[in-house]
Structure 1
């Protein structure tokens, strides 16, 4: 009997060896993570008038209905804030029966407020890839606050593979920390410059972010603004589990939390050297101002089993975010 669960690194490598995951170019050495595989932009992208789902058609068959112009990513291109784009990915799939997938933005993508979602041919849902899917995959890119520079090979999202109906083991509420230390968060500066998504430690954070300081454990969220905050408690992902941080439901508050939802096995664990790791929360307030208070639940982590312990845990091969506290994306120099 096939065990239901998320596939670890070694199983993803087997899928690559079996040509269930293929690519237009050789995979990067660090592209396969403990429980996911990073996806890379291909050679072309298209500015579109509106987001769409294929719904029974191929992604490219629907593109002419909304396409404005084509972009050459081999030379790099700017994705402007407030605009929507569709880009081809270098990876494509030929999943065996019983294997499906789900995508999510990478942590660094969510922390610069770039909204990305996976598209697959004939799909009725963003980010979910049906069992046994065979075909190309694409990414919708919608920068919200900052315009960004990307190119062929830039990694914006990641794919998690799974077998069967993966059970939800348990959930954990995630509260916000507004009292530890003087600095409690950052608010994005509008009308800032362009962020090069492949330039690590290459940007002055003061040009893009306004620091937020402790104010009696409260923070007034302004509609339409984007914030980086930290979780009140440490986040620990056991070595045989993975987790997804879900956007919060309206019953908790008029805001959305966390674009980048995947937490890999070993995050925050002693075995992987991550004791003391916080969850970084990407918060956008909706139509009405909202007074956020220290310890208030702002997100929920859903834990799921792996089919086996990964051969390498999160952070053991190097990571920008293991043992993190309140932290901006890897694109920025230290504050």
Structure 2
């Protein structure tokens, strides 16, 4: 292949990486697996229930850790239920042989995070989750831990995604301010750029019909299982409790509960950039926001049908009840340059489930999208 250009690699570059043997597939890739700035990773044939989460460390591989931590092996070709509160390690069908100068990072897919399924990718000799170092050659594995709903998975299920990066691609705050002035990367709320663009929570509410305003959903406990490969298959009321706005713009997060909320700002990712949601600051609150962090080029882009798209926030409280308020900063968006503009933007095909979203559950549930009201 031609020289790898600096920046986040687009879909076209990912196809070229595959042709060059830098990315390999145990079975042929499937339609929609390559996204505008990332590649979906598919579960392989085997998984293991393990006693504890782990990192192999620089002197060990995943297989050797499994020899001591695995409780039993699971055949994914027949489908398997992953129980909430348990930890699993699964083979992935994709592997890499990265040259020096090309690294990768991983994240759960949006639909995975919205199910409260905690998923991280590990490699042999890894010292960090979701990081694939430049020069790494070998297999990829997914650590999977459902936190609320038991899930049905199988060989080929796509829970994680990988993004390839060459060189330094992240915009500085100064560069991000210039981009915002030109492209309006967020609209609404108070614009704050410090280590990325601040994103706040909307507790004023969305129009839920019948004069009701909803601020989000709280997951129910002791539900049935969710098949991760089924779309528009489950009744919302069987899994979620809607949360009405209280008129004061406040919400108390209960420890151990999982919430779906939405950002106050509309988010825009211009075609020549990619973005990622990262925690704002672990010291600002006793909660975690947004398991799934990748935003593809074209998300919220008006020309791709995304004007007004909000960031959906996957929120889990920690050890104590915590009060959050309307407009409170809960995360930040960092932007990176694309190595090349993808030919197809997010939202420009049928595989983009969350373009122009307001407050929206994962694609598995019957659609009750609340509109991204004009800001």
For residues 259 and 252 of structure 2, the distance between their equivalents in structure 1, rounded to whole angstroms, comes to 11
Measured after TM superposition, the shift of residue 287 of structure 1 is 1.0
Aligned to 1:13: 15
Measured after TM superposition, the shift of residue 248 of structure 1 is 3.6
Whether 2:200 is the aligned partner of 1:175: answer: yes
For residues 224 and 179 of structure 1, the distance between their equivalents in structure 2, rounded to whole angstroms, comes to 24
Aligned to 1:284: 316
Determine if contact 1:248/1:256 at 8 Å carries over to the other structure: no
Aligned to 1:272: 304
Aligned to 1:119: 122
Alignment gaps of 5+ in structure 2: 177-195, 207-212, 369-375
Measured after TM superposition, the shift of residue 168 of structure 1 is 3.1
Measured after TM superposition, the shift of residue 2 of structure 1 is 6.5
Aligned to 2:358: 325
Measured after TM superposition, the shift of residue 250 of structure 1 is 2.1
Determine if contact 1:105/1:157 at 8 Å carries over to the other structure: yes
Q: How does 1:97-246 map to 2 (within 5 A)?
A: 97-169=100-172, 170=176, 171-181=196-206, 182-215=213-246, 216-246=248-278
Determine if contact 1:228/1:328 at 8 Å carries over to the other structure: yes
Measured after TM superposition, the shift of residue 167 of structure 1 is 2.8
Aligned to 2:38: 36
Determine if contact 1:248/1:255 at 8 Å carries over to the other structure: no
Alignment gaps of 5+ in structure 1: none
Secondary structure of 2:85's partner? coil
Determine if contact 1:224/1:286 at 8 Å carries over to the other structure: yes
Query: Taking structure 1 as reference, are residues 2 and 77 closer, same or farther at Cα in structure 2, changes over 3 Å only?
Result: closer
Measured after TM superposition, the shift of residue 18 of structure 1 is 0.7
Aligned to 2:189: none
For residues 106 and 66 of structure 2, the distance between their equivalents in structure 1, rounded to whole angstroms, comes to 21
Secondary structure of 2:107's partner? strand
For residues 168 and 301 of structure 2, the distance between their equivalents in structure 1, rounded to whole angstroms, comes to 26
Measured after TM superposition, the shift of residue 238 of structure 1 is 1.0
Determine if contact 1:254/1:290 at 8 Å carries over to the other structure: yes
- Aligned residue-pair number: 335
1:297-329 deviation line (CA, Å, top 9, x unaligned): 011111111111111111112211000010000
Measured after TM superposition, the shift of residue 13 of structure 1 is 0.7
TM-score (norm 2): 0.88
For residues 3 and 41 of structure 1, the distance between their equivalents in structure 2, rounded to whole angstroms, comes to 29
Secondary structure of 1:271's partner? helix
* Moved segments of 4+, more than 4 Å: none
For residues 171 and 61 of structure 2, the distance between their equivalents in structure 1, rounded to whole angstroms, comes to 32
TM-score (norm 1): 0.98
